[in-house]
């Protein structure tokens, strides 16, 4: 995932969804999907259908999570058989990888760790209809033709079930102007799982975005001590699936 650095062509469907508003590309994902910001306070995500996580599933999850935590409000979603789209209302914050926060990793990393803990504490496990357990993730991978290594078949005992974000990489936390956690985005995989599944990915992603040395700082901000065995397992599972 990256911030686009060149001008990109605007698909016809995106222009249609923008309804005359100006469009600025703000995010490019690995599957070729692009998120556009309109000049009237919306975001339009558009891209090829994804067998791993669909925008339709993201819309359903955001609608559920929005009753308990701050996430984007869904305005529209759909697909045409080859591509899908999701339109949401803009929130006032900036991604934790906006240039100002890349230049201030201590503030950003602390906010992401605190924000992840806040999300886990806010979302009710007992009411959540979605799963992001090891078995569900492994089955999803197999449907996509991915062979999960035998070493990952035996997961560590559950530390604490929470409603996981499902893609807790640091760009998916929004910060306010003071550098406090504001909201979360990209919730297409949200579901019940061990909290270390999220912590492992969030902390690992600090190296991709801020450089080495920030992983334990995020875990400390979350409020736990590093569990090296669970961190290693869930990072390997992320890479494998």
CA-to-CA distance for 44 and 53, rounded, in angstroms? Answer: 17
Between vectors from CA 117 to CA 2 and to CA 237, what angle results, nearest 5°? 55
Query: CA nearest 71: which of 173, 167, 171, 169?
Result: 173
Write down the residue that tokens 């492994």 correspond to: 138
167 is catalytic: yes
The answer to whether the annotation marks 186 as part of a ligand binding site is yes
In the beta sheet, which residues pair with residue 173? 184
What one-character-per-residue DSSP string does 128-197 give?
---B--HHHHHHHHHHTTPPPPGGGSSPPPPS-EEEE-S---GGGEEE-TTS-EEEE---TT-EEEEHHH
Specify binding-site residues for Mg(2+): 172, 186
Which residues are tagged catalytic?
167
Residues making up the binding site:
172, 186
């Amino acid at each position: 995932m990256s911030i686009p650095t060149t001008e990109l062509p605007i698909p016809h469907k995106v222009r249609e969804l923008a309804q005359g508003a100006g469009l600025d590309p703000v995010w490019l994902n690995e599957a070729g999907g692009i998120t556009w910001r309109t000049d009237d306070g919306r975001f339009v995500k558009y891209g090829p259908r994804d067998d791993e996580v669909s925008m339709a599933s993201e819309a359903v999850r955001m609608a559920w999570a929005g009753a308990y935590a701050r996430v984007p409000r869904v305005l529209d979603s759909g697909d045409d058989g080859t591509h899908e789209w999701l339109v949401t209302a803009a929130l006032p914050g900036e991604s934790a990888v906006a240039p100002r926060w890349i230049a201030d990793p201590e503030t950003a990393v602390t906010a992401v760790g605190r924000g992840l803990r806040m999300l886990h504490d806010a979302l009710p496990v007992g009411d959540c209809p979605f799963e992001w357990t090891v078995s569900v993730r492994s089955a999803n991978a197999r449907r996509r033709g991915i062979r999960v290594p035998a070493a990952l078949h035996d997961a560590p005992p559950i530390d604490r079930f929470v409603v996981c974000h499902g893609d807790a990489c640091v760009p998916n936390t929004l910060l306010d102007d003071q550098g406090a956690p504001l909201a979360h985005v990209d919730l297409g995989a949200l579901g019940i799982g061990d909290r270390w599944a999220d912590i492992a990915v969030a902390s690992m992603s600090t190296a991709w975005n801020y450089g080495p040395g920030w992983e334990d700082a995020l875990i400390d901000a979350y409020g736990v001590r590093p569990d090296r065995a669970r961190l290693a397992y869930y990072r390997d599972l992320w890479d494998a699936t």
